[in-house]
Structure 1
Amino acid sequence: MPHSKPLPPAPVWLPDNQLTPRPDAQILDWLFDEGSLTRRLTRLSDDGFSVTPLFEGWQPLRADECASLALPEGSEGWVREVYLRGHGEAWVFARSVASRSALQDGGLNMDELGSRSLGELLFCDHAFQRRAIEVCRYPAEWLPLASQAPALWGRRSRFDRDGLSVLVAEIFLPSLWRAAGLDAEHC
């Protein structure tokens, strides 16, 4: 659902070579894995993967999203927020955005995905080119109330196909680190 209170300043999204201090190698492996996160979560959950839509609709995009998509600040776009789940437990919060004009001309119906994975769609369409992955410590206020925790690792990347660009951000929740056998307290 759209946020009703002012949001904190946007985090600084960094590429791998600018990340300091660096998390441990297992966290880096998740953050900078260039494969499909959907497929990785499906393997981790032994096919117990699902997507739960939280919000889908048109709204003004955040300043950092507009900058990443080369749009004027305050541009309107389609916003899709979902939980990626393993065995019903929320493991990842994902927020995907695209500009209105790009979607209208680009032939991608984000509004028709429902509980299907956008990531799987992007990885199956080989015309999409993925740009570099960037990471940050995601603002707790930008997360759904049930998942708000300070300094969770998030990553994002932009997928381009012709004139269409989709920005996908994925925030790793403590439940994922536990499921992956990592110490959630140190993630």
Structure 2
Amino acid sequence: MPHSTPPTLAPAWLPHSRLMPLPDAQTLDWLFDEGSLTRRLTRLSNDGFSVTPLFEGWQTLRDDECAALELPAESQGWVREVYLRGHGQPWVFARSVAARSALQDGGLNMDELGSRSLGELLFCDQAFQRRAIEVCHYPLEWLPAESRAPELWGRRSRFDRGALSVLVAEIFLPSLWLAASAHPENC
């Protein structure tokens, strides 16, 4: 079951320039790092990184996702929700979406990824261009029940390749901050 229950108030996704008040330096560094999150998590976990799919399938995209992808409201898209794990611990909840029409013509088989990282695929394909990172406090209602906590930082960015656009949101869970604090040399 996807985690898309409408929150009482939709989040405002903001670029770095409009973010106030600023989070601590470590959080800022993770939020606005433009490198591959998969590679960074692999380093932090000393190769103990894995991906656990939670949901994959067609559904109506949320309003904020349609706006970010420049789609009409209530457009259909492929939704992929996963945990990015370090040593079995869920460190990041990720939700990736793409419009049905763009996927059918774009040559990206999101439905065949399984436990492979979509982020790694996007970073390995030089044709994808990443747009600016936006951040917010991610709504509780959009998180899996076992990961719900208030004020979790999330970030998202859009990756474009021709007519294909993929919106990737990554929400940093408390267990990531514990691991990053315990092993700052691997961050």
- TM-score, normalized by length of structure 2? 0.95
- Residue 172 (structure 2) aligns with: 172
Q: 1:138 to 1:149 in 2, by over 3 A?
A: same
Contact 1:10 1:63 in 2 (8 A): no
Q: 1:12 to 1:107 in 2, by over 3 A?
A: same
Question: Runs in 1 of length 4+ with deviation above 6 angstroms?
Answer: none
Residue range with higher mean Cα deviation, 5-14 or 45-54: 5-14
Q: Distance in 1 between matches of 2:57 and 2:42?
A: 27
Q: Distance in 2 between matches of 1:11 and 1:5?
A: 13
Long gaps (5+) in structure 2:
183-187
Q: 1:4 to 1:109 in 2, by over 3 A?
A: closer
Superposed CA RMSD? 1.1
Q: CA deviation at 1:2?
A: 2.8
What is the aligned length?
182
Corresponding residue SS for 1:90: strand
Q: CA deviation at 1:25?
A: 1.1
Long gaps (5+) in structure 1:
183-187
Structure 1 residue 129 corresponds to structure 2 residue 126 = no
Q: 1:96 to 1:4 in 2, by over 3 A?
A: closer
Q: CA deviation at 1:26?
A: 1.1
- Residue 185 (structure 1) aligns with: none
- Residue 147 (structure 1) aligns with: 147
Q: Distance in 2 between matches of 1:26 and 1:49?
A: 20
- Residue 24 (structure 1) aligns with: 24
Amino acid at match of 1:93: F
- Residue 185 (structure 2) aligns with: none
Structure 1 residue 105 corresponds to structure 2 residue 105 = yes
- Residue 83 (structure 1) aligns with: 83
- Residue 66 (structure 1) aligns with: 66
Alignment deviations for residues 79-115 of structure 1 (CA, whole Å, 9 cap, x no partner):
0000000000000000000000000000000000000
Alignment deviations for residues 45-81 of structure 1 (CA, whole Å, 9 cap, x no partner):
0000000000000000000000000000000000000
- Residue 162 (structure 2) aligns with: 162
Contact 1:132 1:157 in 2 (8 A): yes
- TM-score, normalized by length of structure 1? 0.95
